[in-house]
Amino acid sequence: MSFCSERDKSKDLFAGRVVSICRLYACVWLIALLLVTLPSAPPATAEPAHGYSPIHELKYPEGFTHFDYVEPSAPKGGVIRLAQVGTFDSLNTLYYPGTTPADLRNYVYDRLIIASADEAAGYYGLLAETIDVAADLSWVRFKLHADARWNDGKPVTAEDVVFTFETLLKHGAPYYRQVLRLYTIETASPRTVTFRTKRPGDREFVRIVGGLPIHPKHFWEDRDARRKSLRAPLGSGPYRVKSVDAGRSLVLERVPDYWAKSRPVNVGRHNFDLIQIEYFRDATVTRQALAAGQFDVWQEGDAAQWSSAYETMQRNGRNIQQTTFDLDTPGKIATLVFNLRRPLFQDRRVRQAIALAYNHEWTNRFLFNGRYKPVESFYGDTPLGARGPMTPAEKAILGERIDAVPEEAMDRPGPDLREGAKDDRAAFRKANALLDEAGLRVVGGKRLDPVTGQALVVEVIYNNPALVRVFGPFARNLERLGITLSYPLLEATAAVRKKLDHDFDMADLTMTPRLVAGNAERLLWGSALADRKGTYALAGAKDPVLDSAIAAMLKATNRESLQAATRLFDRAMRWQRYVVPLWRNDEVWIAHWDNFGRPQTAAKVYPSYVDRWWSKRRSVD
């Protein structure tokens, strides 16, 4: 499973089977509580502005001309050919179930606000001309831009926003049905819409409601929004559907008179006349298609393939470039999460012992050509990670709950990956001692589960077939401890269902922490969701330290208070061993034919090639 950041999902096209499934996962991560009655009119305590940040000053002032990471004079024209692994069966993004291309939400529909790529949490109006946020974050009011138009020429109105909100709440993907329960919506004029939340102070509120892809009410008045459809949708965004071949291909064409093409947030973006997307069954076939020139750009997610496959293509005369982009974020963190609902895994010693059987150094060297970094912190090299002894600010967050912190965590941010063991032999000695302490007897070379009395078999549920190469050595190491690792390859939807039903011992979990942390941590690790099936609280953690840290993250109003909260969270996660940390990657690997120009920027932002690159050949064949 991959828990993707909102920026990743809203700005970039992903490749690979894991990422295709990520769009399905995104439907089920947010869980909310029931609505309560709120006041009928917001107090006048805020001032309308061109943008908003919940935690820092905006980088771009009112009247800015373009984002720094784009090329404002980028030429328009040409085509970019992309690949996706997977399929789709509908173009109706208002209705679930149905598998729809993410490209529709990204490029056919506009949102009220857009996030800048070079700020931790800077949001600027797109459909919204101004953003008006209550001081206590209990409501947000958007005033729509007077020029906002659907691509049929009709104006975008507050009724369209209400229609989108209400339809997604009732019939949309589980993500929307669950998260939107927190909010209500009302209008005061054709251009003004106000959202309210039952959780004042939640920093994510404005981002979530402002990021909804707005749909046209009038388009759906004589159509059933509660059914799958392959009919070309109407949007207000920079692209529209030109052609579709169900499950196989999608072609988007740039809208020449797009209403917002000159808005500062769009200058230098949306440069291709055509976006052609082909769908393939797996990553291997996709790479072969890239080498054959069937498409132009591929984001590689496999370190071993990045190290070897493209050199082979180049030796065979293919003019394919490999470009590595560094990020200033924690990157992607791959783990195997324990299901703490299993009595066995409630014992930290058992989790420690299993984690000791994984050798990152060996795995990275021999399986991934040294491309990955160890997970020494869940926030990478950023200032959000724990360091040194616990600070007074961290202790203040805990209050009386400080007794729930492991004693070792008071003095150090976390244990070494192998907890001081210098080699496999030392690691196995320590792991065996931990299992002995936990009461897992050895009979005939097999550890016995103290609950069932049977030989201990740990089953891993996963969606990334590339993990099989990791499981082999891991299983051999666990066998030396008397534990059998089972890792059946399930059909994708079956694996997803077992995860949602929390029917597993361990599961793959890839996290992409944001620089403004809190919401993802709540969804994955908050105790309020631990007992709810259908959520991505996979671990089922009920840890008062994590809960305190998450609550402090969500309430943080400055970098200092946020860092204190994330460092406490990081410290608890590292000591409690709720996951086996596999690796971290803060690079993005793009393989592409040499057909494109791109902005020359020092900013370490996500490389959205569809969004910001341009064609060197500006004719469309």
618 pLDDT exceeds 70?
A: no
Rounded mean pLDDT, 58-70 = 97
C-alpha–C-alpha distance, residues 354 and 407, integer Å:
21
pLDDT digits (tens, 9 = 90+) for 537-579: 999 999 999 999 999 999 898 999 999 999 999 999 999 999 9
C-beta of residue 469 within 8 angstroms of C-beta of residue 582: no
239, 221, 253: which is closest to 151 by C-alpha?
239
pLDDT of residue 364: 95
Same domain membership, residue 211 and residue 130: yes
Contact, 375 vs 331, CB < 8 A? no
| Same domain (yes/no): 277, 341 | no
> pLDDT at position 20, please?
38
Residue 13 clears pLDDT 60, i.e. is over it? no
What pLDDT score was predicted for residue 418? Answer: 77
In this predicted model, what pLDDT tens digit does every residue of 392-413 receive, in sequence order? 999 999 999 998 888 889 999 9
Is 109 in the same domain as 257? yes
- The answer to whether residue 261 sits within a structural domain is yes
Same domain, 73 and 220: yes
If one compares 422 and 259, the residue with the highest pLDDT of the two is 259
Q: Does residue 301 form part of some domain?
A: no
pLDDT at 437 over 60: yes
pLDDT at 5 > cutoff 50 = no
Do 511 and 383 belong to one domain? yes
Q: Is residue 11 pLDDT above 90, yes or no?
A: no
Residue 443 maps to a domain: yes
Same domain, yes or no, for 517 and 399?
yes
For residue 46, the model assigns a pLDDT of 63
Residue of 583 and 9 predicted with greater confidence: 583
In the predicted model, is pLDDT for residue 39 greater than 80? no
Render pLDDT for 353-368 as a digit per residue (tens, 0 to 9): 999 999 999 999 999 9
Q: In Å, how far are 56, 509, 518 from 176, measured between CA atoms?
A: 27, 22, 19
Question: Rounded CA gap, 144 and 156, in Å?
Answer: 8
pLDDT value of position 179: 84
Instruction: Specify whether 493 is located in the same domain as 442.
Output: yes
Q: Are residues 276 and 349 in the same domain?
A: no
pLDDT of residue 620: 56
Residue 37 lies in a domain: yes
Least confident segment among 16-20, 223-227, 451-455: 16-20
Q: Distance between alpha carbon 64 and the CA centroid of its chain, in Å?
A: 29
For residue 299, being part of any structural domain is answered with: no
> Mean pLDDT throughout 69-82?
96
Determine, yes or no, domain membership for 327: no
Same domain, 596 and 554: no
What's the number of domains the chain is made of?
2
- 345-349, 419-423, 454-458, 565-569: least confident range: 419-423
Mean per-residue pLDDT, 489-512: 93
Q: How confident is the model at residue 9 (pLDDT cuts 50, 70, 90)?
A: very low
Q: What is the mean pLDDT of residues 339-363?
A: 96
The fraction of the chain above a pLDDT of 70, given in percent, is: 92
The verdict on residue 457 lying in a domain is yes
B/e letters for 444-457, b = 16+ CB within 10 Å, e = fewer, are eebbbbeeeeeebe
pLDDT at res. 423: 86
- 266, 361: one domain: no
Does residue 579 share a domain with residue 604?
A: no
Q: Which of 46-50, 62-66, 254-258 has the lowest mean pLDDT?
A: 46-50
Whether 589 contacts 322, CB under 8 Å: yes
Average pLDDT for 221-238: 94
3-state secondary structure of 241: strand
Domain range enclosing 468: 332-585
| 414 and 533 together in one domain | yes
Instruction: Please provide the average confidence, as pLDDT, over all residues in the chain.
Output: 90
How does pLDDT run across 123-149, given as a tens digit for each residue? 999 999 999 999 999 999 999 999 999
pTM over 0.95: no
540: domain CATH number is: 3.10.105.10
Task: Give residue-wise pLDDT tens across range 304-325.
Answer: 999 999 988 888 888 899 999 9
Cα 324 from Cα 320, distance rounded (Å): 13
Give the C-alpha separation, 399 to 391, whole Å.
13
Q: Given pLDDT bands bounded at 50, 70 and 90, which one contains residue 530?
A: very high
Q: Domain containing 95 — which CATH number? A: 3.40.190.10
Q: Is 307 domain-assigned? A: no
Q: Say what the pLDDT of residue 621 is.
A: 55
**Res. 23 pLDDT band, cuts 50 70 90:** very low
Helix (H) or strand (E) holding 596: strand 596-597
